């Protein structure tokens, strides 16, 4: 499946055998380590800066034939849940054609929408990768620079609630950021009964 390579319109891209959907560049966080805050918008060979956000039909078209991929992943250089309703509608459309839909998220959707949105994901999202990023709020705030107070606690609460509705949850943290204690992050995941994945600074995908 070819990517839509019109400048500023890479709505989907393929890494290994996963198809990634790039539906927004907006974020709830302003991570100091984020490539986009370091003027780097390219992941592998894909330029992910969007000149506009794709409409539902464009996202579904860009996904290609989901059967060609092991999974569909909402990701991109932005927070997909900032377009929650488009995301859910896309997942509804793709659901019959794919075995696995994963969402990479900062886990702040409940804080953004002012309600628990995790039940909306039941039956649509098979796996969540949630950016834990740090073992405590202080370290998290230092690296992620959230726009709203209470983000760290809100993210942990999101994970607790999502356990009821999403079968597979993995917390991630980036090894190599000053002050980030990877074993302590892993313990938090253990305590919550979810998975953990250590990411490496500068390696995306
Ligand atoms: S959440 Fe992801 S895309 Fe958004 S600022 Fe942080 S690293 Fe960048």
Query: Could you read off the pLDDT of 155-183 as tens digits, one per residue?
Result: 999 999 999 999 999 999 999 999 999 99
- 53 against 39, higher pLDDT: 53
Q: What is the DSSP string of 63-107?
A: H--GGGSSEEEE-SSS-GGGGHHHHHHHHHHHGGG-S-EEEEE-S
For the chain, give every domain's residue range.
12-200
Over 90: is that where the pLDDT of 35 sits? no
Ligand 1 mean position, distance from CA 133 (Å): 11
Q: Give the pLDDT band (50/70/90) at residue 204.
A: low
* In the chain, alpha helices (H): 56-63, 84-94, 109-113, 137-144, 151-162, 182-192
Per-residue tokens: 189: 């995941």
Work out the average pLDDT over 92-105. Answer: 97
Q: Is the pLDDT of residue 39 over 90?
A: no
Number of other residues whose CB lies within 10 A of the CB of residue 32: 12
Evaluate if residue 77 carries a pLDDT over 60: yes
Specify the ligand 1 atom closest to the Cα of 29. Answer: 5
Residues lining ligand 1, judged by CB closer than 6 Å? 27, 29-31, 34, 36, 77-79, 106
The CATH class given to the 12-200 domain equals alpha beta
- What pLDDT is recorded for position 1? 46
Best residue for ligand 1 mutational test, from 20, 33, 36, 73 (most atoms within 8 Å of Cβ): 36
Query: What are the residues whose beta carbons fall under 8 Å from the beta carbon of 34, sequence distance 6 or more?
Result: 27, 77
According to the model, what pLDDT value does residue 203 have? 59
Which atom of ligand 1 is nearest the CA belonging to 35? 8
The mean per-residue pLDDT over the stretch 81-109 comes to 97
Residue 205 has pLDDT above 80, yes or no: no
85-110: average pLDDT: 97
């Amino acid at each position: 499946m070819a990517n839509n390579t019109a400048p500023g319109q890479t709505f989907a891209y393929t890494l290994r055998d996963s198809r990634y959907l790039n539906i927004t560049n907006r974020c709830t966080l302003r991570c100091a380590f984020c490539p986009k805050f370091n003027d780097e918008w390219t992941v592998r060979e894909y330029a992910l800066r969007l000149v506009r956000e794709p409409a539902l039909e464009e996202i579904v078209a860009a996904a290609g034939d989901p059967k060609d991929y092991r999974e569909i992943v909402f990701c991109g250089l932005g927070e997909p849940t900032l377009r929650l309703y488009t995301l859910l509608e896309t997942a509804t459309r793709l659901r019959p054609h794919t075995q696995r839909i994963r969402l990479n998220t900062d886990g702040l959707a409940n804080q953004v929408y002012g309600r628990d949105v995790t039940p909306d994901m039941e039956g649509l999202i098979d796996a969540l990768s949630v950016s834990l990023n740090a073992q405590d709020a202080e370290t998290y705030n230092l690296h992620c620079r959230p726009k709203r107070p209470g983000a760290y606690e809100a993210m942990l609460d999101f994970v607790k609630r999502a356990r009821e509705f999403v079968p597979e949850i993995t917390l991630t943290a980036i090894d190599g950021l000053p002050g980030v204690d990877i074993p302590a992050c892993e313990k938090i995941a253990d305590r919550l009964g979810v998975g953990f994945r250590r990411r490496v600074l500068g390696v995306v995908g």
